[in-house]
Amino acid sequence: MPLYEMIILCKIGETQALANLIKNMVNAVFQEGGVVRKVASLGDRLSDKNYKAKDGSNNSIVRYISIHFDANPQSRIVAEKVARANSECLQLFVHKMKEMDYYKEMFDKDAWRATEVDTDQNVYKQEMIKVAAQTKIDMGENFNKDYEKLKNNLI
């Protein structure tokens, strides 16, 4: 399944309405057999354009929400329709992400600059383990023990 990133521009309003938008979007992805990897708020920003909401109000300050999910193309369309149907959604952008770009966001970007792009997924897993070891990511009390377990399971 391809990895998609959906950026939703929302009205600044009730947190309950925004939570309903995200919940409906995540449920739509799950019902279609997809997996949501990450939901993040990218912040509130002043827009250079006024967005007209479904209730008729104009919004120049918008909230950006990012959702990363794995889904087939038909499921992406369903998730897009669910998000657009919500009254909080002002605009929506969906694009495919490369796995390497997703991993770059998860880990320290400086550590990934030296990583060569390779199509083999096992190489990515090994690089993730190396980066985790180099940057001393907290993997529990027994870091070396967990590191060896990960290394043995992935190799």
What are the residue boundaries of the structural domains of the chain, listed by start?
3-97, 101-154
Residues in the chain: 155
Local structure of residue 86 (DSSP, 8 states): S
pLDDT tens digits, 64-121:
999 999 999 898 999 999 999 988 889 999 999 887 777 777 775 565 555 555 556 6
Q: Which CATH number applies to 3-97?
A: 3.30.70.60
pLDDT tens digits, 21-60:
999 989 999 998 999 988 988 888 888 888 888 888 888 8
- Encode 28-41 in three state secondary structure: HHHHCCCEEEEEEE
The pTM of this model reads 0.64
Residue with the larger pLDDT of the pair 146 and 74: 74
* pLDDT at residue 69 in the model: 92
**Residue 55 has which token pair?**
């209730």
Identify whether the C-beta of residue 104 lies closer than 8 Å to the C-beta of residue 54. Answer: no
How far is residue 108's CA from residue 113's CA, in Å, rounded to a whole number?
9
How far is residue 59's CA from residue 47's CA, in Å, rounded to a whole number?
8
Q: What is Dmax (Cα atoms) for the chain?
A: 58
Check pLDDT > 50 for residue 131.
yes
Closest CA to 1 of 99, 83, 84, 81: 99
pLDDT tens digits, 2-21:
889 999 999 888 888 888 99
**Residue 124 has which token pair?**
């990515």
How far is residue 101's CA from residue 12's CA, in Å, rounded to a whole number?
29
Check pLDDT > 50 for residue 139.
no
Amino acid, res. 55:
D
